[in-house]
Amino acid sequence: MSESVVHETEAVIDNGSFGTRRVRFETGRLAKQAGGSVVAYLDDETMVLSATTASKQPKEHFDFFPLTVDVEERMYSVGRIPGAFFRREGRPSTDAILTCRLIDRPLRPSFADGLRNEIQIIVTVTSLHPDDPYDVLAINAASASTQIAGLPFSGPVAGTRVSLIEGQWVAFPTYEEMQRSVFDMVVAGRVVEGGDVAIMMVEAEGTEHTVELIGGGATAPTEEVVAQGLEAAKPFLKVLCEAQSELAAKAAKPTGEFPL
């Protein structure tokens, strides 16, 4: 029996004085029976596994695209095991449900119009650093596994969170850094012809410290500043898309025939 080939690529996120974050994509080691599977690591401490599968036949009577996104958090990812009585994992948390929506929103319009085959993307959080949110890493993992699954998908799609900290937009901030943030945005996008990045989704919000920080002299998130944040996110998204494209060039299946 021949050994499976493992492919890896890496994206380096340069946050200047705030240091660098490394996002690594790996395929060929886990969930090999799925149409496409990718493990995404953030600094080799937070790890999520995404698996994408598609039904062989379209759903004839559906007048919508049957895409399902599930995010499964595991207690062992933070070093815990359910107690003696309740051994099963609990119901999805609010974070898991919101992450499903963050994944669905930019990925759904990236599939070919008219596709009626049932697509399922399952993201499993297998290791989680307590200071890192996993939601934007999950967007990248889901896109990468879909990109290599042989589906009519116009990706890759990348996602990042950018936080306005001390006048600088910082990508993939930790929870500790977000305590000093005036404004947070989750931004998703893809590279289009000409090399520009098209923004596909924005989730923006102030923080519980916004008023206090602005009162202390921090930069206020005006419309102009937020627009600068979107532009600041584009190089980060481009680097992530390039890493996903590099992985697809090594491991993607040929696009199958799907009735549209």
Domain membership of residue 189 (yes or no) is: yes
Domain membership of residue 257 (yes or no) is: no
pLDDT grade, residue 155 (50/70/90)? confident
Beta partners for 119? 54, 67
Give residue 87's pLDDT: 59
Mean pLDDT of the region 59-74:
88
For residue range 91-126, list pLDDT tens digits in order: 788 999 999 999 999 999 999 998 999 999 999 999
CA dist 124 → 87, 93, 117 (Å): 18, 13, 23
Give residue 83's pLDDT: 65
Mean pLDDT, the chain, integer: 91
Strand ranges in 59-179 using DSSP code E only, listed in sequence order: 67-73, 117-127, 158-165, 168-171
Give residue 66's pLDDT: 92
For residue range 122-153, list pLDDT tens digits in order: 999 999 999 999 999 999 999 999 999 999 99
Query: Do β-strands 36-42 and 46-58 pair in parallel, antiparallel, or remain unpaired?
Result: antiparallel
Domain with 213 in it: what CATH number? 3.30.230.70
Q: Please, what sign has the CA dihedral across residues 95, 135, 188, 112?
A: negative
The answer for residues whose C-beta is within 8 angstroms of residue 229's C-beta and 6 or more apart is 162, 164, 169, 183, 185, 187, 221
Give residue 1's pLDDT: 43
For residue range 206-251, list pLDDT tens digits in order: 888 889 888 888 888 889 989 999 999 999 999 999 999 999 999 9
If we measure between CA atoms, which residue out of 114, 147, 137 comes closest to residue 255? 147
Concatenating the DSSP letter of every residue in 46-88 gives: EEEEEEEEEEEEE-TT-SS--EEEEEEE-GGGGT----SS--S
Element (H, E) at 231: helix 223-251
If we measure between CA atoms, which residue out of 118, 186, 121, 124 comes closest to residue 158? 186
pLDDT grade, residue 84 (50/70/90)? low
Give residue 98's pLDDT: 94
Give residue 2's pLDDT: 52
Q: Which range (81-90, 193-202, 204-213, 228-237) has the least confidence? A: 81-90
Task: Kindly tell me if the per-residue pLDDT of 164 is higher than 50.
Answer: yes
For residue range 17-56, list pLDDT tens digits in order: 999 999 999 999 999 899 999 999 999 999 999 999 999 8
Domain membership of residue 107 (yes or no) is: yes
Domain residues for the domain of 218 are: 7-251
Mean pLDDT of the region 172-192:
95
Q: Which residue type does 108 have? A: R
Q: Which range (45-49, 81-85, 126-130, 191-195) has the least confidence? A: 81-85
- pTM for this model (two decimals): 0.92
- How far apart are the two ends of the chain, measured CA to CA in Å? 38
**The total number of structural domains that make up the chain:** 1
Give residue 27's pLDDT: 96
